[in-house]
Structure 1
Amino acid sequence: MHLTFGTPAVRELCERGGQALQSFGAECALALQARLADLRAAKNLEEFPFPLVLLDGGQNQRYSILLTSRFSLQFETRDGGSPRSVANIKILQIGDLNA
């Protein structure tokens, strides 16, 4: 899939491992890099090998992926439709589930 980012700060967290490590710790930083690699490798959301939680079923559907027991990765689809037709997503944030 093709990934874009909601803000420059989110892009930096996702593309610079040191920034994620400093912000979220080793476990989350490693999980983030692994899930981003899984998303890039999948042709569409249906091929993604981990559970997705649908947060909002609007035109640009919002999903969450659990990274650790404390953090999740949130993104929205850019081409709507069924998981089989989604090939473009925008990473919105890495959220703290305890916040």
Structure 2
Amino acid sequence: MTVQIISRDGEPEYAVLPWGEYQALMQAAGRQEHAEPAAAQPVNALKPSLEQLQALREAKGLSPEALARSVGISPHYLAMIERGERRPDAAILRSLAWTLGLEGWS
């Protein structure tokens, strides 16, 4: 069986395996699954825009300092992102999405 383990903070959180192996595992467990996974919505339809960053941060109850610290940037840089003066790189976008519990930005 080919399994990929995804960890968070050093602890295993998810196991990913090929669809055929998943079906075989479910069948062995006595559960019948659908033949194909359900079609997902387009990723862009699920993502809020970066212009909503301040509102998303406030909805989570995070101060600018707390969000900046968790992402690894300065509060000043976060303020420039929230005002639309800077476009963060992909790593910062992923970290912001992770911290805010979003699907992600690219």
Larger radius of gyration: 2
Higher relative contact order (Cα pairs below 8 Å, separated by 6+ residues): 1
Q: Provide the TM-score with structure 2 as the length reference.
A: 0.28
Q: Which has the higher helix share?
A: 2
